[in-house]
Amino acid sequence: MEEYIWEISQNNEERVEKLIEEASVTRPVALVLDTRGIGPDKVQDFLNPSLDNIVDPYLLPGTRAASERLWKAIHEHQRILVHGDYDTDGITASALVAWVLRRNGAQVECYLPHRIDDGYGLTAESISRTNPERCDLLLTVDCGITSYEAVAMAQSRNLDLIITDHHTPGNEPLAAVAVVDPKLPGAPKEIQELAGAGVAFKVCQAFLKYGREMGYGGEDTDLLQVLDLVALGAVADIVPLLHENRILVKHGLEVLARQHRPGIHVLCDISGVGENVATTDITYRLAPRINATGRMGDPTDSLRLLEADNMVDAAELARSLDNQNRARQTIEEEVIRAAEEQIAQRCDLSTIRSLVVWSDNWHQGVVGIVASRLTWRYHRPSVVLTRDPSGQFTGSARSIRRLNLVDLLGECGETLIRFGGHAMAAGLSLYEENLPKFCLQFDEAVQRVLGIESMKPQLNICGEVVFSELDDVFFQELEMLEPFGHGNPEPVFLTRQVWPEKRLPAGRQHTRGSVRDASGAYMMFIAFSRLPADFPPPPWDIVYSPHINRYNGTNTPQIKILDVCASNSQSAMTP
């Protein structure tokens, strides 16, 4: 059984009272809202995310200049090359801008880099491969914001560039016709965390607005139709589902559920996604298949699937994605097995606080997922490396909460050839002879920040409630807190002193039943990966997330027990 750290949100009673009175929500939902930092004046907008509230696209710096240049390309019959990336966000962003531009008369081709041949994002090599006959303007989506070399190369070839990206910019300005990145100074807070597809959406929104203002056109392009692509990109890229992301994803899921794109229709079929699409369907079913092509090498089929205009082509492409996804899974399982063998042989988990594993021949397309899985399984930062064609070791690192990888890798700078990325996910390269030294330095860097007690998973609890507070009104409000995902996880509550009334095995590994607390109310429960015999002697303190169990046409309120301990026991204390 996993041992969890219970982290109970330090809610301010006064703020919670204010939410209950002024926003008239139930106390459990007030606890959730306060935990998310939402005050009474913001509650209505949060519970009813409206497209009327998305920000003016011109407020995102660079979008006007980009729009002007794009319309010029249309008027002068110039060819536009959209340069995306090989993951779901980069692919959906490419499909999105290509669709909007073509609908307005542009000649557009898309280019997606090959993970193994080209490497990540916009590179000088990919610019040097563009055919000047076939490209007058290059528009990046989801990449390019730190591609100084590539931008210089484009300049030397007199190729106009529009960079649109959502990654963290460097310090020097980029020499492009327009640069759009919400992480550059000046973008409103609501859109700073957009994914690449979200930025592409804002650029298209500006492009259509500019076209209408100038009388160029754009009136008959319905941007709502591309919200499915925005939702796919945002959820796959794990951006926080707050602010404008929340609005776009909420409505994007509805567009996705309508399956108006043949490719989405067959992809949903082949991956078992029904008529209600949740963020978890993107995370576990749709995005892995769209990502599979890029992981195995060439992402083109995924883009062709999103752009397919008939069911026959779409069905064939969806099968290709599904097959590549299966191949990816097989490779991933082999690498995981080998990595775990290395860990068993070489790592003393009671003393080290990080994992570094490597091999000469692991597939580059899966090292990132393997690092994620190791981090998840062992609750410590993990680095997975494989030998690249130049003979160096290159790979991915994944982190756990509060540990910024870019800082950690910075402390190991002398053993690395290069590194970069985000706080939770990064890439790195080093020479073979530096491997032992890097392992030591990296672990020392982690040790300075994290105690061994942090090597446990954490449950973030919104507050303590009694069952009588989880009434019908609460469950209605709970639904309005969706979509859940990064930045807005499913609410988790704590209830103390509950007594089991029923406890039955569910399948081979789980338990279902009912519990009652001091308020006299009872709740049906399900506890995954916990057998009836695994529960401590009652009464219990339980940590759980409530939801509506929809089964055979009946909707029953239920709680999903995430952790349980005997009331008043030591482990019930927050550290």
Residue ranges binding Mn ion (CB under 5 A): 89, 142, 196, 237
Cβ distance to Mn ion smaller for residue 196 or 288:
196
Secondary structure letter of residue 284 according to DSSP: I
Cβ distance to Mn ion smaller for residue 34 or 142:
142
Distance (Å, rounded) from C-alpha 457 to C-alpha 232? 27
Cβ distance to Mn ion smaller for residue 94 or 441:
94
234 Cβ contact list (under 8 Å, min separation 6): 89, 194, 195, 197, 198, 241, 245, 248, 249, 252
For the bound state, the minimum distance from the C-beta of residue 294 to Mn ion, rounded and expressed in Å, comes to: 12
Residue 384: phi, psi to the nearest 5? Answer: -125, 125
For the bound state, the minimum distance from the C-beta of residue 447 to Mn ion, rounded and expressed in Å, comes to: 32
For the bound state, the minimum distance from the C-beta of residue 141 to Mn ion, rounded and expressed in Å, comes to: 9
Cβ distance to Mn ion smaller for residue 242 or 266:
242
- Residue 393's DSSP bridge partners are 387, 430
In order of 92, 152, 383, the CA distances from 96 in angstroms are 6, 27, 34
Cβ distance to Mn ion smaller for residue 89 or 517:
89
243 Cβ contact list (under 8 Å, min separation 6): 189, 190, 191, 192, 193
For the bound state, the minimum distance from the C-beta of residue 487 to Mn ion, rounded and expressed in Å, comes to: 15
Coil, strand or helix: which one is 360?
coil
For the bound state, the minimum distance from the C-beta of residue 233 to Mn ion, rounded and expressed in Å, comes to: 7
For the bound state, the minimum distance from the C-beta of residue 236 to Mn ion, rounded and expressed in Å, comes to: 8
Distance (Å, rounded) from C-alpha 479 to C-alpha 471? 13
For the bound state, the minimum distance from the C-beta of residue 397 to Mn ion, rounded and expressed in Å, comes to: 18
Cβ distance to Mn ion smaller for residue 368 or 513:
368
Distance (Å, rounded) from C-alpha 399 to C-alpha 78? 45
Q: Give the tokens for residue 382.
A: 């993990």
Pairing of strands 463-464, 493-506: parallel
Pairing of strands 510-516, 493-506: antiparallel
Cβ distance to Mn ion smaller for residue 196 or 211:
196
Cβ distance to Mn ion smaller for residue 237 or 541:
237
Cβ distance to Mn ion smaller for residue 23 or 303:
303
Distance (Å, rounded) from C-alpha 311 to C-alpha 309? 7
Residue nearest to Mn ion (CB): 89
Is 400 exposed, middle or buried, given 0-12, 13-18 or 19+ CB atoms closer than 10 A? buried
Encoded amino acid at 397, one letter: A
For the bound state, the minimum distance from the C-beta of residue 83 to Mn ion, rounded and expressed in Å, comes to: 13
For the bound state, the minimum distance from the C-beta of residue 431 to Mn ion, rounded and expressed in Å, comes to: 29
Helix, strand, coil percentages, rounded to 5, for the chain: 45, 20, 35
Distance (Å, rounded) from C-alpha 59 to C-alpha 65? 12
